[in-house]
Structures are given as structure tokens and as C-alpha cells.
Amino acid sequence: MDIPVIDLSPYLSVAVEANGDGDVATMSTELVELCREVSRLLRETGALLVKDPRCTVEDNDQFLDMMEKYFERPKEFKLLQERPNLHYQVGVTPEGVEVPRSLVDEEMQEKLKAMPKKSQPTLPSGPDTKWRYLWRVGPRPSNTRFQELYLEPVIPDGFPEWKDTMDSWGYKMISAIEVVAEMAAIGFGLPKDAFTSLMKQGPHLVAPTGSDLARHGQEGTVFAGYHYDLNFLTIHGRSRFPGLNIWLRNGQKVEVKVPVGCLLVQTGKQIEWLTAEDCLAGMHEVVVTSRTINEIKLASEQNRSLWRVSSTLFAHIASDAVLKPLGHFAESPLASKYPPICGGEFVEQELGIKFRGNKGGS
């Protein structure tokens, strides 16, 4: 299945005004239909390919170049940025630490076994073999019950461009997500700021992963086991190596191909909460496939890095904002499954970590 690419330019070029009921007053019919297409794709596929003129191929390449250089550094160097006492919520997370839900959730495992063979994920045999780096981006609230969700970032020595590159890519990704969030809200029949108003000062994370294809480049190796993201929306630039599989709402497994210059947006658990399951958190995995093997061979011939880097940003609902079904979604028969909860408390529940009152941080 080819997921269509949504060009954000028409929306960016129009000043949108919405009244209190969420009816769009100044948009053309074509633009309203484009917004409805955004919401339809998020609902039916859990994924969206977008083109944002503010986010260039050069931006993505600059970010990937820096992260390849970082992940190629010796393990001993990278562990200097490890913060296990803060539950890895900033700095580097080594390979072998993150445990995918599909490895420990027996109920999920039974559901996966019941899937048709061609739709089943590759079940991991242990923790993820990827590294990850977490970098908070965006303004922080001056007053919050969840200070530990807004920890100061960790900067590795020898990377003078680190902060500027991380922040630049992060702000560009947030800007793209905000447009998608507005378009989706309009498409769902909500006020255009229904989602973005809840995102203000959220604990957004630039969260690139690094997977060593020189060591773990065998077909079938699982870098990120079958899982969903707990945040609102996730966005990535194009990786230099394929391997991402997603599952559509109908259960179909799809290998994602992100065109050059495009961004991939995926639904997280928080948008599922806000829409009372009209949008489901998108399930996905990252696995070495035959296409990955082919790209490894090509990269080796061209003397390019054999680290598979994702240029990922997790966009969150603000920690002190209340997660609950919005607007007409509150009337859904499924709304009772999604009771009101603070964004920070929701993150605590999902991670199994308590932040408030914990001097050890997040």
C-alpha cells in the first residue's frame, strides 16, 4: 500500500479562522477536504506522509550526519551521557535497555499469534538492540507538578554543533506536527486549536535511535519490537536504511517507504485518548529486512556509515493539561474507557514510573 503524501503548503499559505463551534470560516472547499483527508488517514492507517517546505532534505541530512558521528563513537564515550538514575528520560539509552511491550505482555502475544502469518510482527527474543538519545525541546512551563519531565538536556563533549542541530531539527518537527494537528482537528470537526492548545509547553522529545548494522545486520534482527508510542504524535524524517513496518487499523502489515523530502507522522496513545479510539495508537516495529540488507551492501560499497539512525520527535500533550475525549468524541460509547487524566500522570502510568516527589527525576 502506498500512503499518499499530504503537502502542507496550501494550509501554510492560508490564514485560517475558526469560530467557537469549530466551523472553518475562511477556508476553500479544497482545503477543508485536505484536512478531512489528514484525519481519515490518521484514523484508517495510523500514519501520514507529509511534505513541509520548512523542513528540507538538507536539514534531515545534517541531523543524520551528526547522529551517525555520535553513535559511531566508542561505547565507553556514549555511556558518559547515560542517566539511569533519571530513568533514561534524558541523554543516551544503551542497546539492551528498552523492552518492547510485545516481549512481556502475554495477552498481546496471544493476539499476535492469532494474526494471519503474513501480518504477524517479528517477535523479539530480548530487549531492543537499538540505542536512543533523548533531548527535550521547546519552552518549559514555569510552574508544573512534573518538573522531572522537563529536565535539562545532556550535551556530549566534542560536539559543538549539538545543541543548535538538536534544537533546529526539533523546532522544525514541532512546527510540522502543529500544522498536522490543526488540519486533523478541522478534519475531525473540532476547533482548529483543539489539539495544539493542549500541546503548548509539552515535554516534546527529539529522540533519535541508532542501530549498528555492522553488528546487527542479519535479516530478521529486531531493532524495535512491536509497540505503540505513548505520546500524541510521532514524526520522523527519512532514514537512510529501510526496516519500519506499521499496522493499519484493518490489521494489514505495511512496510513504510518514506519518499525523499517527506516526513512520516504516526499516531500515539494520547491522540487515541483524545478521540475516544476514533484514532488508534499506531503499532509498528523496526526490523532488518531484505531491503535493509540491500542498502547495507550499497552503503558498504560507498563507504557510508552502517548505523541506522531515525530522526524522530515525540510530540506530547502538556504534562499539566487534561487528557480526555474532546468535543463530540466525548459522546462516543467508548469515551468511558478514557477517563480524564493529567498528561504527566498518563506518562507515569505508561512508563511505570512515578515522577512527582521523586528526587531521582524521570
For 195-215, the pLDDT digits (tens) are 999 999 999 999 999 999 999
The C-alpha atoms of residue 178 and residue 171 are separated, in whole angstroms, by 10
The predicted model gives 122-130 an average pLDDT of 88
Lowest mean pLDDT across 14-23, 104-113, 336-345? 14-23
Cβ neighbours of residue 249 closer than 8 Å, sequence gap 6 or more: 43, 44, 45, 46, 280
What number is the average pLDDT over the span 82-103? 90
Question: How wide is the angle at C-alpha 91 spanned by C-alphas 85 and 94, nearest 5°?
Answer: 80
In this prediction, residue 125 carries a pLDDT of 84
Indicate the pLDDT class of residue 1, thresholds 50, 70 and 90: low
Compute and round to an integer the Cα radius of gyration of the chain. Answer: 20
So what's the pLDDT on residue 19? 46
Task: Return the sign of the alpha-carbon dihedral for residues 129, 245, 183, 15.
Answer: positive
Residue 353 has what pLDDT?
A: 63
The domains of the chain, with CATH numbers, are: 5-351 (2.60.120.330)
Q: Determine the pLDDT at residue 361.
A: 30
pLDDT at 330 over 80: yes
Alpha-helical segments (H) within 266-342? 269-274, 290-301
- pLDDT of 24 strictly over 80: no
23: pLDDT confidence band, cut at 50, 70 and 90?
A: low
Q: What is the mean pLDDT of residues 279-301?
A: 95
For residue 178, pLDDT beyond 50: yes
Contact (CB, 8 A) for 43 and 281: no
Confidence grade of residue 143 (pLDDT, cut at 50, 70, 90) = confident
What percent of the chain shows pLDDT beyond 90?
75
Identify the weakest region by mean pLDDT among 56-60, 199-203, 347-351: 347-351
* Predicted local confidence at residue 85, as pLDDT: 87
What's residue 104's pLDDT? Answer: 83
- Work out the mean pLDDT of the chain and round it to a whole number: 90
Q: How confident is the model at residue 359 (pLDDT cuts 50, 70, 90)?
A: very low
**Greater pLDDT, 100 or 304:** 304
Q: pLDDT over 70 for what percent of the chain? A: 93
The pLDDT of 13-18, averaged and rounded, is 60
- 200: cell is 503548548
pLDDT reported for residue 20: 44
Closest CA to 173 of 223, 141, 224, 135: 135
Write down the pLDDT at residue 14.
Answer: 81
